[in-house]
Amino acid sequence: MPNSSGELTESELQELVEHVSLSFFNRPFLHQAKINRRMTTTGGRYHLTDHHLEINAHFLQPQYHDELVGIIKHELTHYHLHLQNRGYRHRDTDFKLLLKKVGGSRYAPDIGLRKKQNPKFVYKCQHCGQKFKRVRRINVRRYACGKCGGPLRLVKG
């Protein structure tokens, strides 16, 4: 039974992974696909120890279906190459060629899951009083106020 949000369940995910595996790799996926609800910046992960795949729960929503298939192909590329004792790491030629062949995603698609960095430094324009927040320290001798061109001063950081 599909749940109300339209998000894939773990057994539907398992079926999809098995299906993608047969149709694009001509090989069966014989291990487990699991949902990971704590992943933020990665789409999925392949585990070398017990060969299971984890997929970021965010991509199980219907609007991310294409991205999900791209992630599954990426993780299956690790999976099949590893099981065949071929180059399964990102830098390996086997990996690059097979990923390209099946059309897998190279990186986790950015759907705004990356945590926002908190600005640590606050600068204030000494001329107009405008405040600027920055994650990193800036050189106040090289940067001026974006509004009026006045000199900046660090007020917090």
Q: By the criterion CB under 5 A, which residues form the site for Zn ion?
A: 125, 127-128, 130, 145, 147-148, 150
3-state secondary structure of 16: helix
> What is the CA 32 to chain-centroid distance, rounded?
20
Least distance between Zn ion and beta carbon 127 (Å): 5
Whichever of 109 and 150 has its CB closer to Zn ion, that residue is 150
Whichever of 64 and 124 has its CB closer to Zn ion, that residue is 124
Whichever of 62 and 154 has its CB closer to Zn ion, that residue is 154
Least distance between Zn ion and beta carbon 5 (Å): 27
75 is catalytic: yes
Provide the phi-psi class of 86: left if phi over 0, else alpha when psi is between -120 and 50, else beta: beta
Least distance between Zn ion and beta carbon 96 (Å): 11
Residues 6 or more apart whose CB falls under 8 angstroms from that of 156 comprise 121, 122
DSSP-derived letter for residue 40 is S
* Positions marked catalytic: 75
